[in-house]
A and B are shown apart, each in its own frame.
Chain A
Amino acid sequence: MINRLLSVWHARNLEFVRDRSTLLFTLVMPVMLIVGMSFVFGGQERPLFKVGVLSAAPLDKSAHPFLHERFVDFVPIASESDGLHKVTHQQIDLLLDLTHRGVTTGTGAGAGANPGAAAGAGAGAGAGAGAGANAGAGAGAGAGDPPGPPRYWVNTDSPKGYIAEKLLLASAPTARRERVTGTATRYIDWLFPGILGMNMMFSCLFGVGYVVLRYRKNGFLKRLHATPLTAFEFLSAQVLSRLCLILFVTVLLYIGIASIIHFHSAGSLLLLLVLAVLASLSMIALGLTIAARFASEELVAGLLNLLTWPMMLLSGIWFSLEGSPQWVQWLGSIFPLTHLLEAARAIMLDGAGVAQIVPHLIYLGVTAVAFLAFGAWSFRWRIE
């Protein structure tokens, strides 16, 4: 019995070792993951607070002493409306404006502005009050004077916002306060699109990739090659078949989970469906590019893992990558799943319309066509 066992063990080892591409991949993959993860999540201490800064990117830390505080993650925010939205939903703890600073040498005016601004009832009111204060402060400005006190928005419903405000006032006691109110987005609501997207990703990549590989290995593709069927027709049929399945499953999951967690989409469900179609097409076609020519299950599994793991971590399924290094965000933006999740959250949580998510739709559509074209070009019917 031992001899038989050893014979099979030895043969399997030879098979594995002689499949050089798989062996190489098996060795390289963990190293790549460790190196990648250490770049993304390693290094400095983790911040306790997240403060949005309205400022021209990249953030200039010398612009204000508050920007030197430890344990605070300062995130550049491009527009005031975007920043106010994030403060309202407690996605950031405080929004600091360093772009419209009235220049004044006195501190009394700034201190007096705080309670006045705090009387505002919401984000819109706060913004209006801030504009008025700027105009008044700007009237007294003189050339060469140091910049005046910064303006900031804080959500009075946010405990972390309360502490972040104390930190700010310690280094900028004259900063002008604008009050915002709004409850935080529930994590489960934020996570919901991520879970649906992750399920779609696995179904798209592994479902199609393995099926095509099995067809190639058992000779079914070779038999199809002897018919008038073209590679593009075959691949398109696989894409459409998987698309229908994924949409059916995703709609069922959406209905089921939404009813359990009492979730109601703020935006159009039809737009959400269009987004799901484009994202599924893009990810299925991506899976086909992997399975288009290889015949080794282990290599294809490795390559699919190489795609899915970074997507799991860098597409924002579990947590937002806002505040992570720019290159990490850039890397994440390559993946179709990132565009799906950003657009889905914009629709489901913020009620975004077509205009707000059109860049994501275009990216998903273009990648779907590009991946399918590449897959058809590189497709092999049989094992050479």
Chain B
Amino acid sequence: MTGPILEVCNLVKQYGAVTAVSDVSFRVPEGMCFGLLGPNGAGKTTTIEIMEGILSATSGEVRYRGEPLGQRFREEAGILFQKTALQDFLTVRQCLAMFRGLYDRGLEVEELIKLCALEKLAARDNRKLSGGQQQRLLLAIALVNDPALIFLDEPTTGLDPQARRNFWELIQSIKARRKTVILTTHYMEEAELLCDEIAIMDNGKIIAQGTPRKLLNEHFAEVLLELPRHEFPQAARHLPLTVIEATDRIEITTNDLDATLRTLMDARVPLQNLRIRPPNLEDLFLELTGKALRA
């Protein structure tokens, strides 16, 4: 990977008295898939829209290849918004041709159709596509200018698991073409699978940044124990354990599994539904935004 293709410097966005983004800075190296994660209202969509040049910042700056966002950025960036409607009555091929006409250079329409597996849908009215098909079309539109940098804002939200997996394969094929991808998502599995580096946002600030493995190592011990919440007695909450309370379960992190199990058995905590697994990004997310910041 080479130098940064995009730099975000001290970004601030205020709506009246509300600060949506507070002094956010990071750099995205070329060829990387960078994930911006956070709960609803964390400020990630505002941040990405400022990075896309759609929204103006209250202060701070976004630089593309060392320069402020300008015509070159618009020519070389591809964007897939959370929600985009297209013109009525246009077929998939006509939608692609319309957007292709807005750029000086890019991929041929037929190549895009093949790349995003839209061959059987090319002559269909865009309003008659399923959710997954619609997202594939929007991804194809984001690729019409053969962009160096692609923004994907929650691209698989609302898709069924099969459509989501198909979409992930598409994104991986784009990554394989050495494109830089900036992704926001609610799905930790998606971030873990696709992102080389992630930044976790909450309350308008970046609270953690790094590769998924590095962040997990920083915040978690070796293993994680999961118990159904209703099976975890109130008295056991005072045990000398590192406990994270999720909606439906209790998570206990430990680097001494034997000692932890003994403690739980001594406290007569039922262990029939105990599950032991390594921690993942979802645990990290909960640790950082659910417990550490909201408890």
Q: How far is the CB of B58 from chain A (nearest CB, A)?
A: 14
Contact of B74 among A222, A226, A381, A382 (CB under 8 A): A226
- B85–A226 contact, CB under 8 A? no
Q: Decide yes or no whether B84 CB sits under 8 A from chain A.
A: yes
**C-beta contact mask, B48-84 vs A, less than 8 Å → 1, else 0?**
0000111000000000000000010011010101011
Q: Are B54 and A226 in contact (CB under 8 A)?
A: yes
What residues of B have a CB within 8 angstroms of the CB of A222 in the complex?
A: 54, 81, 84
B interface residues, tally (CB under 8 Å): 19
Q: Does B239 have its Cβ within 8 Å of any Cβ on chain A? A: no
Question: Cβ of B86 < 8 Å from any Cβ of A?
Answer: yes
Given contacts A219-B83, A222-B81, contact A228 B53 (CB under 8 A): no
Rounded to whole angstroms, the CA-CA distance of A227 and B86 in the bound complex is: 14
CB <8 Å contact, B84 and A228: no
Out of B54, B81, B102, B141, which one reaches A228, CB within 8 Å? B102
Which residues from chain A contact B173 at a C-beta distance below 8 Å? Answer: none
Instruction: Encode contact with A along B89-102: 1 for CB under 8 Å, 0 otherwise.
Output: 00000000001001
Given A226-B52, A228-B74, check contact A220 B86 (CB 8 Å): yes
Q: Are A227 and B99 closer than 8 Å at their CB atoms? A: yes
Taking a contact as CB atoms under 8 Å apart, the answer to whether B75 and A223 are in contact is: no
Q: In the bound complex, how far is the Cα of B79 from the Cα of A224, in angstroms? A: 10
Do B54 and A382 have beta carbons less than 8 Å apart?
Answer: yes
Residue on B nearest A228 in the bound complex, by CB: B74
Chain B residues lying within 8 Å of A219, measured Cβ to Cβ, are: 81, 83-85
Partner of B71, one of A225, A226, A228, A381: A228
For the complex, give the distance between the alpha carbons of A224 and B141 in Å: 11
* Residue in chain A with minimal CB distance to B76: A228
B130 CB-CB contact with A under 8 Å: no
Q: Do B54 and A218 touch across chains, with their CB atoms under 8 A apart?
A: no
A228-B75, A382-B54 known; A223 and B102 CB under 8 Å? Answer: no
The answer to whether B81 touches A227, judged by C-beta atoms less than 8 angstroms apart, is no
- Roughly how many angstroms separate A227 CA and B75 CA in the complex, as a whole number? 7
CB-contacts of A197-239 with B (<8 A): 218-220, 222-229
Q: Contact between A229 and B102 (Cβ–Cβ < 8 Å)? A: yes
Tell me the smallest distance from the CB of B236 to a CB of chain A, in Å.
44
The answer to whether A227 and B84 touch across the interface, beta carbons within 8 angstroms, is no
With a cutoff of 8 Å between Cβ atoms, the chain B residues found around residue A218 in the complex are 85
B87 within 8 Å of A by Cβ?
yes
> Which residue of the partner chain, among B54, B86, B99, B104, contacts A225 with CB atoms under 8 Å?
B54
Query: What is the chain B residue whose CB lies nearest that of A233?
Result: B102
B103 within 8 Å of A (CB atoms): yes
- Inter-chain contact B85/A220, CB cutoff 8 Å: yes
B residues in contact with A229, CB < 8 Å: 102
When distances are taken between beta carbons in the complex, the residues of chain A under 8 Å from B85 are: 218-220
A227–B95 alpha-carbon span in the complex (Å): 14
CB distance from B133 to the nearest CB of A (A): 17
Q: How far is the CA of A117 from the CA of B85 in the complex (A)?
A: 75
Distance in angstroms between the alpha carbons of A220 and B81 in the assembled complex: 10
Distance between A230 CB and nearest chain B CB, rounded to angstroms: 10
Contacts of B141 in A (CB 8 A): 223
Least Cβ–Cβ distance between B256 and chain A, in angstroms: 52
Enumerate chain A residues within 8 angstroms of B77, measured Cβ to Cβ: 226
Residues from chain B with a CB closer than 8 A to the CB of A226 are 52-54, 74, 77, 79, 81
Hey, which chain B residues are within 8 Å of A223, CB to CB?
Answer: 79, 81, 84, 86, 141
Give complex CA distance A218, B82 in Å: 12
Q: Which of A220, A223, A225, A226 has the most CB of B within 10 A?
A: A226
Q: Using a CB-CB cutoff of 8 Å, which residues 111-149 of chain B contact chain A?
A: 141
Known contacts A220-B84, A220-B85; A227 and B102 CB within 8 A of each other: yes
Most interface-central of A227, A381, A382 (chain B CB within 10 A): A227
Collect the chain A residues with CB atoms within 8 Å of residue B75's CB: 228
CA distance A219 to B81 in the complex (A): 9
Kindly list chain B residues whose C-beta atoms are within 8 Å of the C-beta of A225: 54
**A288 CB, min distance to chain B CBs, angstroms:** 17
Closest Cβ of chain A to B79, distance in Å, is 4
Contact A228/B103 with A220-B84, A220-B87 known, Cβ cut-off 8 Å: yes
Contact digits for A143-169, partner B, Cβ 8 Å, 1 yes 0 no: 000000000000000000000000000
For A74-93 the 0/1 string (1 means CB < 8 A from B) is 00000000000000000000
| Chain B residues within 8 Å of A227, by CB | 74, 99, 102-103
Distance in angstroms from A289 CB to nearest chain B CB is 22
A224-260: CB near B (< 8 Å → 1, else 0) gives 1111110000000000000000000000000000000
Q: Which residues of the other chain, B, contact A220 by a CB distance below 8 angstroms?
A: 84-87
Given the complex of chains A and B, what is the CA–CA distance between A222 and B103 in angstroms? Answer: 16
Measured between alpha carbons, how far is A226 from B83 in the docked complex, in Å? 13
- Which chain A residues border B81 with CB–CB below 8 Å? 219, 222-223, 226
**Interface pairs (10), CB distance under 8 Å:** A218-B85, A219-B84, A220-B87, A223-B84, A224-B102, A226-B52, A226-B54, A228-B71, A228-B103, A229-B102
Q: Which 8 A-B pairs have the closest CB atoms?
A: A218-B85, A227-B102, A226-B79, A228-B74, A223-B84, A219-B84, A220-B85, A229-B102
- Having A222-B84, A223-B84, A228-B103, one finds 9 other A-B pairs with CB under 8 Å, namely A219-B84, A219-B85, A220-B84, A220-B85, A220-B87, A223-B79, A224-B102, A227-B74, A229-B102
